[in-house]
Structure 1
Amino acid sequence: MQNPAFLDPGLHRRLVDGLYLEAMVMADEARTYFDGSASLDDGIDDPLRRVAFACESLKVTTRLMHIIAWLLSQRAWQRGEIDRIDMADDKYRLGRASETDADLSASFPFAARALIDASQELYGRVARLQDRLDAMGSATAAAVASPARALLDRLNTAF
């Protein structure tokens, strides 16, 4: 269960804002590079390599859009537009994105490889953040659901 409420709100906001800025800058760089004009100058003239290159540009774009959508849902939760309970819904989770074959990307120009690697690294960081939020929510939910915890809480409030 994803539950950002168990993370300090200020820290959560700074993490989300920083990642959002990074994702938006990277999306702009990817759009500029993969729009065709820059990639045509990088010597990708073999038709099969062009198809592979186009597929990789779509993977980068998909990764970045999944990241941005997840971050926007986190921002919506911060503003109170999405309830904490609703955040567990799959539509607010980080979408699945395909990884790039390292052997294939090795044949691409440096700029393309840099964007591919950076998008995969950013996706990995966001996925780890989501996993961490899930673990924090699960640990807190388990502590709340524990009969021993409930008894300790009752004792603490009684005395």
Structure 2
Amino acid sequence: MIENGNGRATTIKLAEHRVFSDSFKPLYNQGMSLVEEAAEYLDGDGRAEAKHLTRAGAALYAAESMRLTTRLMQLASWLLLQRAANSGEMTREQVAAEKSKVRLDTHSPQEQAQGWSDLPEKFQSLVVRSMRLQDLVRRMDEEIYGGAPARAEEAELFGNNPVYEQITLLKTAFGHR
């Protein structure tokens, strides 16, 4: 807490300070670099490496690459909204309204998935790094805007249900909420 000009104590949220200051640039750059790196990999080396996977491995690769792409697009959307607020292009209220469309809960079974260890190492790294970034952004989002997103609450209700995850993934891919 710090004292404001009126002699009252004000709570400073570190995540809010980070997002709405120059210290946001490294996070923004990290996220956008990860999006670019994943796109390059999936269109290049990843496509070639996927051809050498077993049938089960190829199916897992396809599902995980869809999750990865969805997760990164949602993260990019969140980062772009925060950048717009940071630069004054949008008010925090506008960002809060728009960010309600952004989902920060795209899960990945990772090591628990049968055949995970057969996936290319670079691909595994991209998935793990995207999950870490999503966790960081979700925590910051909750601190800044309060509360967990509705979709995360739904996920908790349904637990680790692969059918629910696939339906949610399809809804995300086709823009339904």
Using structure 1 for the length normalisation, give the TM-score.
0.68
Contact 2:35 2:72 in 1 (8 A): yes
| Equivalent-residue separation in structure 1 for 2:107 and 2:82 (angstroms) | 24
Tell me what 1:61 maps to: 69
Q: Using the aligned pairs only, state the percent identity.
A: 25
Q: Could you list the per-position Cα deviations for residues 113-147 of structure 1 after superposition, in whole angstroms to 9, with x for gaps in the alignment?
A: 11110000000000011111124xxxxxxxxxxxx
Alignment partner for residue 128 of structure 1, among 125, 134, 139?
Answer: 139
Tell me what 1:114 maps to: 125
* Structure 2 gap segments, 5+ residues each: 1-12, 147-177
Tell me what 2:35 maps to: 27
- Structure richer in helix, relative to its length: 1
Matches within 5 A, 1:76-95: 76-89=84-97, 91-93=98-100, 94-95=102-103
Q: Could you list the per-position Cα deviations for residues 76-135 of structure 1 after superposition, in whole angstroms to 9, with x for gaps in the alignment?
A: 11222222222331x324414421112223331211111110000000000011111124
Give the number of the structure whose alpha-carbon radius of gyration is greater. 1
Tell me what 2:48 maps to: 40
* Structure 1 gap segments, 5+ residues each: 136-159
Alignment partner for residue 49 of structure 1, among 57, 64, 67?
Answer: 57
Shift of 1:41: 3.3
Higher RCO (C-alpha under 8 Å, 6+ residues apart): 1
Report which stretch shifted further, 122-131 or 54-63. 54-63
SS of residue in 2 equivalent to 1:14: coil
Count of matched residue pairs:
130
Counterparts in 2 of 1:95 and 1:42: CA distance versus 1, 3 Å: closer
Counterparts in 2 of 1:133 and 1:83: CA distance versus 1, 3 Å: same
Give the aligned residue type for 1:72. L
Using structure 2 for the length normalisation, give the TM-score.
0.62
Tell me what 1:73 maps to: 81
